[in-house]
Amino acid sequence: MTDQTILSIRRPDDWHVHLRDNAVMRSVVPYTAAQFARAIVMPNLSPPVTTVEAGAAYRERILAAVPQGVNFTPLITAYLTDASKGEELARGFAEGVFTAAKLYPAHATTGSAHGVTNIANIMPALEHMARIGMPLLIHGEVTDSHVDIFDREAVFIERTLSKLVRELPELRVVFEHITTADAVAFVDDASDNIAATITPQHLHINRNAMFEGGIRPHAYCLPVAKREVHRLALRKAATSGSAKYFLGTDSAPHDKSAKESACGCAGIFNAPFAMESYAAVFEEEGALDKLEAFASENGPRFYRLPLNEDRVTLERIDTPVPELLELDGVSVVPFHAGETLRWRYRA
């Protein structure tokens, strides 16, 4: 713990966010743009963003939703399918439309129905990406229903990721939203071409949060939160100062009614208080001095992009989080709803 009351850091970026589309997009973009200079925007729309033209059009729609006077750059990603071609990805990368490509194992998570059924189907595209230095972003869970849901990330490392990294060591890979000590060990031991994002929720909650006094759909996201030992490993990794770990909120808004349902959607909306949420973790770990590297430096270095020059502050002021945000097109229960966070973000 520390008695520090003001923290000034380089403006951060969010290296994994779901901005959706249409009315929902227009109401959630301002939250991300208020905190972050850039964001890696996930392509799991329906239909998914698979072509350069669709990526460019999506970027324009996002930019049109950024409030006047706010400086925010969306970085678009391509959604990989069994039919993805290296040439199309490379064209998007060369034109500055695609910053990376995203691998969703088919049916692993929300909006992954068109995802990849077998990584062998996209090996030529991945080889092409490795040659041009285009990062591959991975939702790392097996989809085999015989594998326990809490083991799906660890089994993905065993069955798929270790092999991919061995076969294509030059491929730059971001293992997205890691949730296990197994993932931390894998990333720590891997080459510098392998990095990982960590969400605020996986630093704050373990799997008990989903069952506290009853079923808690707002604590449900994928990959699902794991045991306490895994949360502690993630906290250690995020606050270690290692350049392999960086901020990716995985903010994923779903309407309250879609979460509070007999078959509730996976995804936690954390964009409105993302930096406040991360700051709480870093303070609790006595590592506020490591927050800037995690939030503002390690990501751009991995993506080979310039660091942001402007600065922001976090002030130690109690910040209540609303129970519900009534937005245009969606009513969302935000992460930390009803709690008071100890920091306030100022751009």
Catalytically active residues are 250
Residues binding ligand NCD: what is the number (CB under 6 A)? 12
The site map against ligand NCD for 127-156 (x = CB under 6 A) is ------------x-----------------
Instruction: Determine whether the annotation assigns residue 327 to a binding site.
Output: no
- Between CA 248 and CA 100 the distance in angstroms is 14
Q: Which does 110 bind (CB under 5 to 8 A by kind): Zn ion, ligand NCD, none?
A: ligand NCD
Q: How distant is the alpha carbon of residue 324 from its chain centre?
A: 22
Near Zn ion by CB under 5 A: residue from 139, 152, 207, 235: 139
Whether residue 20 is annotated as binding a ligand: the answer is: yes
Rounded to an integer, what distance in angstroms lies between the CA atom of residue 43 and that of residue 32?
A: 16
* CA distances to 114, 177, 196, 250, 281 from 9, in Å: 39, 23, 21, 22, 16
Each residue 234-273 as x (binds ligand NCD by CB under 6 A) or -, in order, gives ----------------x-x-------------xx------
Q: How far apart (Å, rounded) are the C-alpha atoms in residues 207 and 232? A: 13
Q: In angstroms, give the least distance from the CB of 269 to Zn ion.
A: 12
**Cα–Cα distance for residue pair 63/214, rounded to 1 Å:** 40
**Binding residue count for Zn ion, defined by CB under 5 A:** 3
Q: How far apart are CA 233 and CA 223, in angstroms?
A: 16
DSSP string, 272-294: GGHHHHHHHHHHHTT-GGGHHII
By rule CB under 5 A, what string of x and - marks binding of each residue 203-242 to Zn ion? ----------------------------------------
* Closer residue to ligand NCD (CB): 4 or 257: 257
Among 44, 242, 249, 270, binds ligand NCD (CB under 6 A): 44
Q: Quote the crossing angle between the two packed helices 228-238 and 274-284, to the nearest 10°.
A: 100
Whole-angstrom distance, CA of residue 118 vs CA of residue 137: 16
Residues 6 or more apart in contact with residue 346 via CB below 8 angstroms:
312, 313, 314, 315
What is the distance between the alpha carbons of residues 36 and 249, in angstroms, rounded to a whole number?
11
Q: Is 128 annotated in some ligand binding site?
A: no
Q: DSSP string of 169-187?
A: TTS-EEE-S--SHHHHHHH
Instruction: CB nearer to ligand NCD: give 32 or 109.
Output: 109
DSSP one-letter code for 263: T
Q: Is 250 annotated as a binding residue?
A: yes
Q: Which among ligand NCD, Zn ion, none contacts residue 111 (Cβ within 5 to 8 A by kind)?
A: ligand NCD
Binding site partner of 341, from ligand NCD, Zn ion, none, Cβ cut-off 5-8 A by kind: none
Pick the stretch among 46-54, 60-68, 139-147, 274-282 that binds Zn ion (CB under 5 A): 139-147
Is 203 annotated for ligand binding?
no
Question: Residue 176 Cβ, how far from Zn ion at the closest point, in Å?
Answer: 6
Q: CB within 8 A of 187, min separation 6: which ones?
A: 175, 178, 194, 195, 196, 237, 244, 245
Question: Please, what is the minimum distance in Å from the beta carbon of residue 96 to Zn ion?
Answer: 23
Which partner, Zn ion, ligand NCD, none, binds residue 209 by CB below 5 to 8 Å per kind?
Answer: none
Instruction: Lay out the site mask for ligand NCD across 12-41 (x = CB under 6 A, - = otherwise).
Output: ------x-----------------------
Residue 114 interacts with ligand NCD (CB under 6 A)? Answer: no
Q: Which three-class secondary structure state does DSSP give residue 156?
A: helix
Which residues contribute to the site for Zn ion (CB under 5 A)?
A: 109, 139, 250
Which residues contribute to the site for ligand NCD (CB under 6 A)?
A: 18, 44, 109-111, 139, 221-222, 250, 252, 266-267
